[in-house]
Amino acid sequence: MKTKKQINQELMVIHELFPSNTTELTRETPFQLLIAVVLSAQSTDKQVNKITSMLFQIIKNPQDILELGLDKLKDYIRSIGFFNNKAKNILTLSEQLINDYDGVIPSSLAELVKLAGVGEKTAKVVMHQLYDWQYIAVDTHVHRVANRLWWVDTKLPEQTSKLIESLIYKDNIYLAHHALILFGRYKCKAVRPLCETCPLQKNCIYFNTVMKFKIKKIPLK
C-alpha cells in the first residue's frame, strides 16, 4: 500500500487533469440538484441530463413535484433505470422536505440521509456541491481508481468509502471529490482504460500487473 504522502502527490496529478469541482449534472436550483443526484444512481449523468432537460422546465421545488403527481413524474423519467422506485422516492422526499424542512435542503449529512432514496453517497455529493463540505463520495469510479493505484485494497465501494477520506490531506478532500470521479469516468475507465497516456502509469499497480501485457505495440512502417 502507498503512503499518505504518495497518495496525495498522485491526487495532485489527477486534479491537474480534471480540475473542475462541479458536477456534470445539469441543474439550476438546490432541489433540482438533489433530484438529479437521486436519478443518477446506477445511471449516467448523460442519461439524467437528457431526462431533466424536460423535467426541470416545470420542476423547481418540492411543491412542483407534488403538483405534478406520481404518474406524470414516472412518464418523465421512464427511460431511466429503476424509474418506479425513483419516482416514489422523489415524491416522498418532496413531502418530507415540505413537512420537515420548510422546503429547504438539509445542510447536514445526518439529516439528508433521512430523505427517501438518499443514501450516504448521494448525500455527500449534495453536501459537496451545495454547502462545500469536505466529503468524497465514493462511486464505482472512485473505488476502481483507488484500488488500481493501490491506495486501498477493498472489494466494495462501501469499504473504500470508510478509508479514503483518512488517506487524503484535509485541504485536498474538496478538490479530490470530482477529480477522482472524472478521472475514473474518462481516463481510468472500467473497460479499455487509457493507460498508454496516463501520467500515473508507472505508479499504477493495475497497469504494471495487468494492462502492460495486453497493450500491443504497433510496428513502425
**Which residues are annotated as catalytic?**
121, 139
Distance of alpha carbon 101 from its chain centroid, rounded? 25
**Distance between CA 11 and CA 175 in Å, rounded?**
9
How would you class 39 by CB atoms within 10 Å of its CB: exposed for 0-12, middle for 13-18, buried for 19 or more? buried
- Give the span between the Cα atoms of 63 and 68, in whole angstroms: 9
Residue 21: which of 133, 108, 111 has the closest Cα? 133
Cα gap 35→49, rounded to integer Å: 11
Residue 76: all three cell numbers together: 418523465
Using DSSP, state whether 178 is helix, strand or coil.
helix
Q: Are 97 and 103 in contact (CB under 8 A)?
A: yes
By the 8 A CB rule, do 199 and 187 touch? no
CB 127 within 8 A of CB 173: no
Q: Which three cell numbers stand for residue 9?
A: 502527490
